[in-house]
Amino acid sequence: MEITEVLYNLVFDYTLRTVAMGSAILGIVSGALGVFAVLRRQSLLGDSVSHTALPGIALAFLLTGSKAPLVMIIGAAVAGWIGTLFVLHIINNTPIKADGALGMILSVFFGFGLVLLTLIQKMPNSRQAGLEKFLFGQASALMVQDVVIMAILGGLSLLLVAILWKEFKMLSFDPEYAVSLGFPTRTITIILTTILVIAVVIGLQTVGVVLMSAMIVAPASAARQWTDRLGVMVVLSGLFGALAGVSGAVISSLTAKLPTGPTIVLCISAIVVISILFAPNRGLVMRAARNYMNRQRLITDAILLDLFELGIQHHDPHYAHPSSTLKVMSITRGNIERSLHNLQEHDFVQEIGEDNWALTESGVRKAAILANRMEEKS
């Protein structure tokens, strides 16, 4: 399909438009809020909340008989919230650490959810197939009213983030200091946790329980590589999430038998990999390049100093030495051909005869500066 066709469909094809919008909203909200989860070392809270939501969904159906999305979402949110409360309680009051508490609550709640699901299955007129949609996500079944609910809830959550920005920032950076300033950190934590739960729950329909964890962690992790400022990180994270959401929706619509949820996750994971490798400051590729250049500089500086030393010994700064001598003295003990040519290019050394190297005038000056610097340091 041509790109223009795709864009046309995005606007005019009901299904694609709805799915893309829903995925975009999911991406923005979970991306933005995921920043706080990741920074507070609660990355796996997304995983936990999405699993603990299951019994909430089942109970909501059992109690109301309705499969309206809003009902499901409220049920999921309440259950997710209660589960998180248990997790925090266990962490604060027992020797069990975060990972153990998260894992246990997640699996027990989910198991209980399964029990409820099988109970529902036995009910006479159960249409519980709709409930399982929440388990694995079925983005292609998104309807406009689902997207509207996502937009409203997601928008409210983002609004809260904007309003309570400095409170959330301080809570994430130094909660004890916040207490000493008199901030009710417990209340702030509750608010933050609540909107995090909402962010996870509205995404369940799209990517499902297992993959929701990625939508919380991945956009934020990618964004962190590109910036050192929290505000930029949140915006970038939301953008990455939206990008992944829309791309996933589009790509999966173009290919047969490609479920949307996993495609979105692969898109955001690709963004993470690219960020980790190629981000300017922190990126691994840049890091390696910087290390390489630093090392090269160390080697060439050392060669200059060696020539300088030798020059002093021979009472002639321009005394030429074979590269084999320099190689033995070199800090790298390897091939110094390249370094010598590098120095030659910069006019610091010149080759005299066959493989003999001497400092030039500028080379002597540079070496003198380096030698001075070394003396100052010691």
Partner 1 sequence: MNSTNIQYAVDVADLTVAYRDKPVLWDIDMQVPSGVLMAIIGPNGAGKTTLIKSILGLIKPAAGQVMIFNKPYEQQRHEVGYVPQRGSVDWDFPTNVLDVVMMGRYGALGWIRRPGTKERKKAMDALDKVSMVDFAGRQISQLSGGQQQRVFLARALVQEASVYFMDEPFQGVDAKTERAIIGILQELRSSGKTVVVVHHDLQTIPEYFDWVTLLNVRRIASGPVADVFTEENLRAAYGGLVAFKSHAGTAINNSLK
Partner 2 sequence: MTPAQIEIQLIAAVVAVACALPGVFLILRRTAMMSDAISHAILLGIVLAFLVTEDLTSPFLIVAAAMTGLLTVLLVEILHKTRLVKEDAAIGLVFPVLFSIGVILIARFAGSVHLDTDAVLLGELAFAPFNRFVVFGVDIGPRSLYLMGGILLINLAFILLFFKELKLSTFDAGLAASLGFMPWILHYGLMSLVSVTAVGAFDAVGSILVVALMIGPPSAAYLLTERLSTMLLLSALMGMVGAISGFWIAHWADISIAGSMATMIGVIFILVYLLSPGRGLLASVRRRVRQKWEFALAMLVIHLSQHEHQPEAVNECRADHLTEHIRWNAKFAQQVVRLAKHRNLIDETDGRLNLTSNGRSLAARKVVG
Contact set with partner 2 (CB under 8 A): 38, 41-44, 46-47, 51, 90, 93-104, 106-119, 122, 132, 135-136, 210-211, 213-214, 216-218, 220-221, 224-225, 257-259, 261-263, 265-266, 269, 272, 276, 282, 284
| Among partner 2, partner 1, none, partner that 324 touches (CB below 5 to 8 angstroms by kind) | none
Q: Name the DSSP letter for residue 349.
A: E
C-alpha 354/C-alpha 246 separation (Å) is 63
Sheet holding 349-351, edge to edge: 321-322, 356-359, 349-351
| Among partner 2, partner 1, none, partner that 213 touches (CB below 5 to 8 angstroms by kind) | partner 2
Which H or E run contains 356? strand 356-359
User: Vertex 187, ends 182 and 190: CA angle to 5°?
Assistant: 145
| Among partner 1, partner 2, none, partner that 233 touches (CB below 5 to 8 angstroms by kind) | partner 1
- Number of residues lying near partner 1 (CB under 8 A): 26
Q: Residue 260: left (phi > 0), alpha (psi -120 to 50), or beta?
A: alpha
Nearer to partner 1, 230 or 277 (CB): 230
What are φ and ψ of residue 351, in 5° steps? -90, 125
Nearer to partner 2, 210 or 329 (CB): 210
Establish if 353 lies at the interface with partner 1 (CB under 8 A): no
C-alpha dist (Å) from residue 96 to 41, 86, 203? 16, 12, 29
Question: Which residue from 182, 256, 257, 378 is in contact with partner 1, where contact means CB under 8 A?
Answer: 182
C-alpha 354/C-alpha 35 separation (Å) is 61
Nearer to partner 1, 283 or 311 (CB): 283
- Residue bearing tokens 């399964």: 114
**Segment near partner 1 (CB under 8 A), from 12-20, 227-235, 322-330, 341-349?**
227-235
Establish if 183 lies at the interface with partner 1 (CB under 8 A): yes
SS3 call for 336: coil
- Residue bearing tokens 């699993």: 51
For residues 359 and 367, the answer to whether their CB atoms sit within 8 Å is yes
**Segment near partner 1 (CB under 8 A), from 91-99, 226-234, 308-316, 325-333?**
226-234
**Segment near partner 1 (CB under 8 A), from 102-110, 202-210, 229-237, 328-336?**
229-237
C-beta of 165: minimal distance to partner 2 in Å?
A: 22
Establish if 166 lies at the interface with partner 1 (CB under 8 A): yes
Which residues, in sequence order, are CB contacts of 81 under 8 Å at separation 6+?
193, 194, 197
Length of the chain: 378
| Among partner 2, partner 1, none, partner that 176 touches (CB below 5 to 8 angstroms by kind) | partner 1
C-alpha 112/C-alpha 162 separation (Å) is 36
Question: Which residue from 180, 255, 324, 378 is in contact with partner 1, where contact means CB under 8 A?
Answer: 180
What residues make contact with partner 1 under the rule CB under 8 A? 39, 41, 163-167, 169-170, 172-174, 176-183, 224, 227-230, 233
